[in-house]
Amino acid sequence: MPNKSSGKKVDQVRSSPAGTSASEGIVSRQGVCGGSACIKGTRIPIWVLERARQLGATETKLLEMYPDLSHPELANAWRYVDSHRDEIEQQIQENEDF
């Protein structure tokens, strides 16, 4: 049985085959971005992208702001938002209250 106090970082990769999952390319990492779901390979939280979209940012603007992101990654982020709405809204609220 693994020792939880070993200090090892654990990645929770949320993905599935065929690219149809709301979680494709989305990861959560303890100690990275507060454990919030992020685009895999980045430190860009999904809640940040969703909040920007709520404030009027277009996909074109988001891709300009985050040049390492691609259209498919944004599509995955939006699917994740749709299927994890409560989680994302809670993260937005927590960070705006800060």
**pLDDT tens, residue by residue, 72-91:** 999 999 999 999 999 999 99
CB 17 within 8 A of CB 67: no
Determine the pLDDT at residue 2: 40
Neighbours of 28 (CB within 10 A): 20
CB 28 within 8 A of CB 20: no
Cα-Cα-Cα-Cα torsion 31, 33, 39, 43, nearest 10 degrees, comes to: -100
**pLDDT tens, residue by residue, 9-61:** 334 444 333 344 557 899 988 888 889 999 999 999 999 999 999 999 999 99
The confidence band for 67, taking pLDDT boundaries of 50, 70 and 90, is very high
